[in-house]
Amino acid sequence: MKKYLFIHLILSSLIIPILVPVLSQADADPETVDHVFCNGKIITIDELNPEFEAIALNDGIIVGLGTTEEILQSYKTEYGPGYDLDGRTIMPGIIDGHSHYMASLFWIGETETIYESQIIALANGYTTLNEKSIDIGEFGWLQSAEQNGTLRLRVNAFLIYNFAWLEDNEPVLVGAWEPDIEPLLDHERMFRIPGFKIYLDGASGNRGFPAMSDPYTQEMMDLWGITNPYGDLYFNQSELNSIVDSIHDSGFSVAVHAMGDRATETILNAIEYALNETDNANARHQIEHNSFIREDQIVKALSLDTIHSVRGYFPTYWQQEYANLYSAVWQERTVNRYSLPGEGLHSYLETDFGFLYGYDEDNWSRSANIRPFLHLWGLVTRKAIDENGTIHEPDPWLAEHEISVEMGLRMLTIEGAYAVKQEDYLGSLEIGKYADMIVLTADPLTVNEDDIKNIEVMLTMVGGKIEYQWANHTFPTQYNTSQTSISIWITLLALSGMLMVRNNKKKILRM
């Protein structure tokens, strides 16, 4: 008996390793899904599970995350085991928390090019735009674009409450909205209406100037043509209180342009009044630009839990010019805006990008830049590039507010989703969330800091649909599983060939 047992053991030890993979494969019976990406790095923006190797999507939703082996055991696609990332990085699609893509095309009278503008946004990795000031014309276009299926990325419209200028020192209101208009927050919709945009103070030129609590100097007034020494506040405290309160009561969020500290003070008070001790985690009121913000206002913002926009990339070498004009106090206030994410306030990326002043892909010095990874580089290094391509190091007072790449990535993704109550659906790659994601040429978390700005987007998916593919590249190819038999491989090659033809056709159609 012992002899037989011995032979049995030897045989088993030979056979079992052969049988086990076969059995476990048979057991798993992979489920067919729309897409699988494997053999890469998935940056999830989910703090509990920051990284995976592979991801599976079905019906526009993320269904699986894990190692390549785990995902290939559980899922397959009709066209093969899955796309081979070949070590490349996937992250959630970029959410621009403050943009003017759609609106600016209307302003310059090129409504027919709005369709093309989406391609420019998609090619830069944007999958959601929080459009900060949509008028009635743009509203109508977005509604019909959603209905006829030509809206290819998600748009959250903040309806314009007043124009960004004064007439006879009075704000110009936008009276076009139906008095009973309601928020549209359905997550399945490509076009949502979370809030109203209010312009509270000036910016420059005929818009007036940021409203400050200390007066501009005579030198500034002469240099910039400022007429009101304290800048221009469009609504006083009691007017703004009742505006914000009534918008709040209708269930909308407010997004308020506030550059000067006097404007910031007025809107913080108005939000406090409207919240009336309730939680901003429900209301999601947000303040745009925050160009001069005081320490005491940061404390108040933290207590109210307000949400703030931060321009990622800013030509900070300009600051030296400003520094010569500003007092030390103003200098501190204008730098404070960069401290907001580090202070723990909800802060999202503001590109402020629009086509109004033209679109020059090669102009890297422009502040309202479309490039999300230039903004990330700005947040992480606080460096800037001038018109001649020279890179400027940040001054020490600015360098102090550099943030981590991880925090910067959150500002480009989940924080923009939070600002429009979509953090449970978008902004990170988690099972059950929408498959809005991008494939990158490099990993922002490991690439040399100065190369972050050069990262490009190879593929953009919105709701599991490939909406952009980098021209002239062979990616994606099918993952080569060594277990796959030759006959299956022949089928796969044929299928992937068909798919490539289909994708090429798509690309041609989009040119």
Instruction: Report the interface residues with Zn ion, using CB under 5 A.
Output: 352
* CB closer to Zn ion, 120 vs 445: 120
* CB closer to Zn ion, 412 vs 459: 412
Do 84 and 39 touch, CB atoms closer than 8 A? yes
Q: DSSP letters along 101-137, please?
A: HHHHHHHTT-GGGHHHHHHHHHHTTEEEEEEEEE-HH
| Smallest distance, Zn ion to C-beta of residue 94, A | 17
Do 267 and 197 touch, CB atoms closer than 8 A? no
* CB closer to Zn ion, 352 vs 415: 352
* CB closer to Zn ion, 341 vs 354: 354
List the beta strands (DSSP E) in 325-405: 346-350, 384-385, 391-392
| Smallest distance, Zn ion to C-beta of residue 356, A | 10
Residues in the chain: 511
| Smallest distance, Zn ion to C-beta of residue 132, A | 5
* CB closer to Zn ion, 356 vs 445: 356
| Smallest distance, Zn ion to C-beta of residue 234, A | 15
Find the radius of gyration of the CA atoms of the chain.
26
| Smallest distance, Zn ion to C-beta of residue 352, A | 4
* CB closer to Zn ion, 96 vs 352: 352
* CB closer to Zn ion, 258 vs 335: 258
Output b/e per residue, 323-360; b: 16+ Cβ within 10 A.
Answer: beebeeebbebbbbbbbbbeeebbbbbbbbbbbeeeee
Question: Closest by alpha carbon to 91, among 473, 376, 286, 281?
Answer: 376
| Smallest distance, Zn ion to C-beta of residue 100, A | 6
| Smallest distance, Zn ion to C-beta of residue 104, A | 10
* CB closer to Zn ion, 96 vs 443: 96
d(CA 75, CA 31): 5
Place of tokens 């002043």: 357
Residue with nearest beta carbon to Zn ion: 352
Q: What tokens were used for 239?
A: 């007017």
Q: Are strands 465-469 and 457-462 parallel, antiparallel or unpaired?
A: antiparallel
Question: Closest by alpha carbon to 351, among 372, 335, 336?
Answer: 372
